[in-house]
Structure 1
Amino acid sequence: MTHPHASDRLEGPQRSSPSARRTARSSPGSDAVWLLFALGSIVVLIRAYVAPVLTQEAVLAWATIFVAICVQALPFLVFGVALSAAITAFVPARTWQRLLPRNGAAAVPVAGIAGAVLPGCECASVPVAGGLMARGVAPAAALTFLLAAPAINPIVMVATAVAFPGQPGMVAARFGASLLVAVLAGWAWLRFGKAEWIRIPAPPAHDSGKWDAYRQAARHDLMHAGGFLIVGAIAAATINVAVPAAWVNAVAGIPWASVLVLAVLAVLMSICSEADAFVAASLTSFSPTAKLAFLVVGPMVDLKLIAMQTGFFGRDFALRFVPLTFVLAVAVSSAFGALFL
């Protein structure tokens, strides 16, 4: 017998699909028109109100800083994205499940070390951690890997050494502080986390071709990370040129305020971890401890990570894990900066 509402369920999508298709076809064009209009309005406003107060020296300084950050960071960004996509596409998630100890407390630091030797950016770490959970890895261990992989992998460490030449202490402090934060966050979730606070993704029904997965992952990560790099470079150049030096010096001269300001700035700028060291190095008015806080917080807590974690693991998870990670990152980086920098 046919259910009385079966035809409604079958015919409803068919009746609405033509208009939905027309809307889908027209949306990109409409969005592009509005985007061009908004950009044009911004250009007009800048030309009318901002340009008259800018000097040629300020414009040249801004362009020099922006180009320098992008040129220095781009090779590390491309290399990191390529390796991250290769790991995502060619290394089965069950490999990590076999490598991790069954004991949760022991699996957490092992997962942190695994993140230290495997290159990957923030965009890749969230889906990889979700895949590990879906295949039976303890959430605490997967979350430790999520935090450690983009923060202390070899590409990030080399980029940090290049951005801070002659300052090996900054490289060592970033590595130690970030690894400690990842392990402490994993242990805290193991001890206090509840199953109802996290939504574990379902395992995939089937896998696409490896090379196709590699191309998709590399294209996705490069587009997103490259965009965030440009935004970060713009913000850093603007801070260096547009913000009055007296304001920067006033904040930079207060130890606790400078640490909090750069920690919050790392969250808002959402720079890829392969490139954030170059931005931090350009903030010359701030102390090494404040720069360390920027480097530790950024790969673990930023706007794109918060959105991705909410989408993968649920809002209840993000509301608890994000503040936990931020507080640990600020506290540990402040301690490492006071002791070693």
Structure 2
Amino acid sequence: MMGLVHAATGPRLTSMHVFGALLVAALLFRHSLIGFVNSFPTLQTAATVFTGVFVQATPFLVLGVLISGAIAAFVSPRVLRAVLPRRESVAVGVAGPAGAALPGCECGAVPVARRLMEQGVPSAAALTFLLSAPAINPVVLVATAVAFPGEPAMVVARLAGSLATALVMGWVWSRFGRTEWITARLNHHDTDTGGSRWVVFAESARHDLLQAGSYLVLGAAAAAALHVLVPSWIYEHLAGQMLLAILVMALLAVVLALCSEADAFVAASISMLPLLPRLVFLVVGPAVDVKLIAMQAGSFGRAFTVRFAPLTFVVAVLCACVAGYLVLGGVR
């Protein structure tokens, strides 16, 4: 009987096992894969673009995941609550720049914002922090600088556009938002538990790495597909139609749902378009995408999400365009 119980509760197949199996298979059959890819020039180009984006972005993704896991394990939201003023409009102004203190992707910012609300932080300040943290933290800005060498203005423009998006949405929510729109009743979770903080760190880092890594693979594959499947005349047309290019890149950011620590490398790979549409891609992505919409609906309720997400999209596009014109010197 004990053997049967032990067998029933034995190891189960996880996403880490699947990832490991795929990695081993790729290493074992790498020569066959390389030979197959090299026999098709188009496929070879796609593989080169995919590898370039993935290899460049991975170190920043891993660094962000490790820092995010450490914050989840060792830094309580009470620390953030303590530095925020009680007055809501002032708290929004502090919460925006404070987002730089939380390196990590937007996936991790949602539960942090939820915990801040549970601990009494004004909702407008928590939502400002939710939008600023994944977009203006040092890991994201350094990754942007590496992805766009020789274009330091892109880093400044991304910082300005993303911070403006967070602050505008925070102040709009403090003025027009209603607490009854946040319909989800949330459980109170904190890292101050009896469990080991190192276990929390390992689990948070593992979860974030697998989740963000999957979106990085998707983004690298999309960048490769855009290079080999989309005719060059389409990019030439978009480059000459700035408003259309901005709208296309904004919608692409929502659909691809990339991690903010890797999206700059995907944007940089679309070198056929001017800088301004690619800046819009970088500002919109961490603020609103399909995975964020789903997470916000689960954390705050549908009534909140159907109001907050569309408005965030519009504000992010406008702020990115204004930042682009001011920092990048017009349409580039």
Match of 1:291 in 2: 278
Match of 1:246 in 2: 233
Instruction: Deviation per CA, 1:281-321: give whole Å up to 9, x if none.
Output: 00011111100000000011111111111110011111011
Query: What amino acid does structure 2 have at the position aligned with 1:312?
Result: S
Match of 2:258 in 1: 271
Determine if the alignment matches structure 1 residue 184 to structure 2 residue 168.
yes
1:204 positional shift: 2.7
SS at match of 1:141: helix
User: Residue 152 of structure 1: which of 136, 142, 145 is its match?
Assistant: 136
Verify the 8 A CA contact 1:144 1:185 in the aligned structure 2.
yes
Match of 1:121 in 2: 105
Determine if the alignment matches structure 1 residue 317 to structure 2 residue 304.
yes
Determine if the alignment matches structure 1 residue 203 to structure 2 residue 188.
yes
Match of 1:76 in 2: 60
SS at match of 1:292: helix
Match of 2:204 in 1: 217
Instruction: Deviation per CA, 1:249-290: give whole Å up to 9, x if none.
Output: 212320000001001001111111000000000001111110
1:200 positional shift: 5.7
TM-score w.r.t. the length of structure 2 is 0.85
Give the Cα separation in 1 of the matches to 2:64 and 2:57: 11
Instruction: Deviation per CA, 1:103-130: give whole Å up to 9, x if none.
Output: 0000012111110233121111000110
TM-score w.r.t. the length of structure 1 is 0.83
1:55 positional shift: 7.9
Give the Cα separation in 2 of the matches to 1:86 and 1:121: 14
1:201 positional shift: 2.5
Does 106-115 or 116-125 show the bigger shift? 116-125
The aligned runs of 1:98-137 (5 Å cut-off) are 98-137=82-121
Give the Cα separation in 2 of the matches to 1:143 and 1:201: 16
Give the Cα separation in 2 of the matches to 1:219 and 1:117: 21
Q: 1:59 to 1:66 in 2, by over 3 A?
A: same
Give the Cα separation in 1 of the matches to 2:105 and 2:189: 22
Give the Cα separation in 2 of the matches to 1:117 and 1:92: 13
1:339 positional shift: 2.3
Query: What amino acid does structure 2 have at the position aligned with 1:268?
Result: V
Match of 2:158 in 1: 174
Moved over 4 A (4+): none
Match of 2:291 in 1: 304
Give the Cα separation in 2 of the matches to 1:334 and 1:200: 37
The runs of 5 or more residues in structure 1 that have no matched partner are 1-21, 33-50
SS at match of 2:314: helix
1:209 positional shift: 2.8
